[in-house]
Amino acid sequence: MNFLVISDAHLIQQNGKKVAYAPYVKEMDLWMHHVDSTTFISPDCFNGHILFQEFKNQDFKQIGLRRLEFHTLWSALISMFTVPYQFFVLCFAFAKADHIHLRCPGNLALLASMVQVFFPTKKKTVKYAGNFDPNATQPMAYRWQKRILSNTFLTKNIDVLVYGEWPQQTINIKPFFTATYSENDRGNFTKDFKELYQFIFVGTLSQNKNPQLLVELIKQLNKEGVAAQAHFYGDGPMMEELKIMTDSHSTPCYFYGNQSSEVLKVAYEKAHFCFLASKSEGWPKAVAESMWYGCIPIATPVSCVPWMLGIKEKLGEENDQVDFTNGLDLKSIGSRGLIYTDKDQTILNLKSLLRNPAVIKMMSQNAKDWSQDYTIEKFEREIIKLVQS
């Protein structure tokens, strides 16, 4: 099988090896393991800083294209002149491929989603790594991709893999997942929900992730007599601002920068709660990873987060173990976690749950059981079904 991958992810050469963004490489290694030959069409130049990793299988072909960008007038003009050439490159590659795999969303992916319309008999899969919420506010290019790929008249013989379950979708759209840990990593990670409560944030310290909201949450919890700490793993442009914010209010927050997966495993085991208040997400990896260790997630309701947290699977007012007094908001509490709406309501929800040890332990257990169902082995089995169908 000739497997063709179209992606906006940069694929470059480093020290004679083909490398790309580490999580992307880990997944594509699995796909390539089950096909005969692979060709990537992707940008082949990159000047920034990113966590690169070598592909295990270096025996594949790459067709390098210029990245399509429209941030400035000059880049938009260059991209527009480039589009016809890239269109024909994609057409020739599609004609030779047995299985076409698109990595969406992205500008090159948008062009590829248009080209695939002319190849209705070719087997196609799409990994849509962004937010597939039909009500989300998104760039026009993202909305176009979703509409083209969902349209069963324009797009045929395709599986569009999306994060979460969304209402009123066409047969093209298939709920999917991703995975970090192996079946061998499973364990009974039980939490003792007693003070000092540990909160963990894993990710880029940027405005999109809103890490300052965790600092504010920890400050207010301690002010109201709930002893809590926050531990930040990751780096980003807000690092110094957060440290100043923490020092000025003597808030117990600690910053560790980027750390290895082994360090993060230990941190997840110690933490009681994970926090993620992103403005946008696809599959929030840090949330799924923390749940694996029994952490209770507190996260904004973006993308598939409500589904991950079991918001439709309520604890229920019939459960007499739950104290429903003091303003508990049932709409933001699921069977596996809490939706972050605002600081005050989240604190009310937390304090009410912490008064009910059996309930909060049940929530932690639910989070662990749900996350540990999504293993690398299960992920690979689903990939095999897709490439062999």
In Å, how far from its chain's centre is CA 32? 22
| Structural domain containing residue 136 | 2-179+376-388
Q: What gap in Å lies between CA 227 and CA 218, rounded to an integer?
A: 8
Clarify whether residues 200 and 131 are in a common domain. Answer: no
With tokens 């990939």, the residue in question is: 383
Clarify whether residues 213 and 354 are in a common domain. Answer: yes
DSSP string for residues in 224-246? TT--EEEEEEB--TTHHHHHHHH
* Maximum pairwise Cα distance, the chain: 66
Quote the radius of gyration of the chain (alpha carbons, Å): 22
Tokens, residue 318: 């019939």
Clarify whether residues 311 and 189 are in a common domain. Answer: yes
Clarify whether residues 214 and 98 are in a common domain. Answer: no
Task: Please name which of 312, 18, 294, 31 lies closest in space to residue 178, comparing C-alpha atoms.
Answer: 31
> Within a 10 A sphere around the Cβ of 386, how many other Cβ atoms?
18
Neighbouring residues of 36: CB distance < 8 A, sequence distance ≥ 6:
1, 2, 3
Neighbouring residues of 66: CB distance < 8 A, sequence distance ≥ 6:
43, 45, 78, 79, 82, 86
Helix (H, G, I), strand (E, B) or coil at 117: helix
| Length of the chain in terms of residues written | 389
DSSP string for residues in 319-372? -TTS---TT--GGGB-SS-EE---HHHHHHHHHHHHT-HHHHHHHHHHHHHHHT
CATH number where 345 lies: 3.40.50.2000
With tokens 């509490």, the residue in question is: 333
Clarify whether residues 175 and 187 are in a common domain. Answer: no
With tokens 């390098």, the residue in question is: 64
Clarify whether residues 208 and 242 are in a common domain. Answer: yes
Clarify whether residues 105 and 220 are in a common domain. Answer: no
Clarify whether residues 202 and 122 are in a common domain. Answer: no
- The type of residue at 366 is N
CATH number where 169 lies: 3.40.50
Helix (H, G, I), strand (E, B) or coil at 273: strand
Q: What gap in Å lies between CA 284 and CA 302, rounded to an integer?
A: 9
Task: Please name which of 130, 388, 129 lies closest in space to residue 279, comparing C-alpha atoms.
Answer: 130
Phi, psi (rounded to 5 degrees) for 21: -55, 130
Query: Could you tell me the mean pLDDT of each successive run of 10 residues in the chain, 389 residues long?
Result: 96 93 93 96 84 92 90 84 95 97 96 97 96 88 94 97 93 94 94 95 95 97 96 94 89 94 95 95 93 97 93 61 59 92 93 89 95 96 93
257: which DSSP letter? B
CA angle 377/382/384 to nearest 5° reads 95
Clarify whether residues 201 and 306 are in a common domain. Answer: yes
**Distances in Å between the alpha carbon of 109 and those of 64, 68, 100, 140, 149?**
14, 10, 12, 13, 11
CA angle 122/128/131 to nearest 5° reads 155
Clarify whether residues 125 and 197 are in a common domain. Answer: no
Count: domains in the chain:
2
Clarify whether residues 324 and 364 are in a common domain. Answer: yes
Phi, psi (rounded to 5 degrees) for 195: -60, 145
378 burial (CB, 10 Å; 0-12 / 13-18 / 19+) is middle
Q: What is the pLDDT of residue 321?
A: 53
With tokens 């024909």, the residue in question is: 88
Clarify whether residues 124 and 112 are in a common domain. Answer: yes
Q: What is the pLDDT of residue 49?
A: 72
Q: What is the pLDDT of residue 67?
A: 86
